[in-house]
Amino acid sequence: MNLFEKLKRVTGLRSEPKKINEETKQYEISKDDSLDVIFAKSLIQNHGSFFYCDNEPDLIHTIQVLIKDLKVDQIYCIEPILQTLLSKSDIHYTSNNPSCDAILSSCEYLIAQKAKIMLSSKQLGSNNIKNLPKNHIIIAYASQIVKNLSEGMSGINMRHIDNLPSTITTIKSKQKNDIQDLDGNIKNLSVILIEDFNS
């Protein structure tokens, strides 16, 4: 079974109404699950949203639908490649005012174990994470999924060996035992996973 089929199976479970205990069981992580499926299940368990796109038109459509569902009037985006994508999609964005309804960014890595997103100043600029919108839409490649934070940090050190980011942080969706969010790291997460188009 390829990545697309596995993730479609995981995310497709939401389309039919199920009893709470049945739905919870469907998202339980098994020892045979690959990292991509572990991440998707963990994110959904923690009230995040997960989408899979296997081509650019599908990605554009998913962003448009997601922005409509989140009732986003304006989106904050500072990454040129994503700004080009938004312009192509006729979606209004700003790179000057982080006080928007949502932010769209890439990421450094997706952490499978805890469904956390590893971000750096490459995606956030000079902004403090707590000053950015609560709705955070992430676009990531399948190759960016790693098992844990340690693997993510190793990857950052290798990728940015000559120019390490000034800030590295993680964000996650709100979980049951999260009482306060003093650091601003708890977000309403929507992750769009895409195949590495150039691979």
Per-residue pLDDT tens over the stretch 16-70: 333 334 455 556 777 778 898 899 999 998 889 999 998 889 999 999 999 999 9
pLDDT tens-digit map of 146-170? 999 999 999 998 888 888 888 999 9
* Residue 92 belongs to some domain of the structure: yes
Share of the chain above pLDDT 90, in %: 52
194 φ, ψ (degrees, to nearest 5): -125, 155
Confirm whether 180 is domain-assigned: no
Whichever domain contains 17, its CATH number is 3.40.50.10420
Q: Which amino acid is at 191?
A: V
Q: Which domain holds residue 140?
A: 3-175+185-194
**Cβ density class 125-153: b for 16+ within 10 Å, e for less:** eeeebeebbebbbbbbbbebbbeebebbe
Q: What is the pLDDT of residue 3?
A: 46
Q: Is residue 69 part of a domain?
A: yes
**What was the pLDDT predicted at 4?**
45
How many CB atoms neighbour CB 14 within 10 A? 14
Query: Considering the domain boundaries, does residue 199 fall inside one?
Result: no
Indicate whether 170 belongs to any domain.
yes
- Taking every pair of Cα atoms in the chain, the longest distance, rounded to a whole number of angstroms, is 51
- On whether residue 171 sits in a domain, the answer given is yes
In a domain, 22, yes or no: yes
Residue 138 forms part of a structural domain = yes
Tally of domains in the chain: 1
What is the reported pLDDT for 191? 96
pLDDT tens digits for 65-86? 999 999 998 899 999 999 999 9
The mean pLDDT value for 140-147 works out to 94
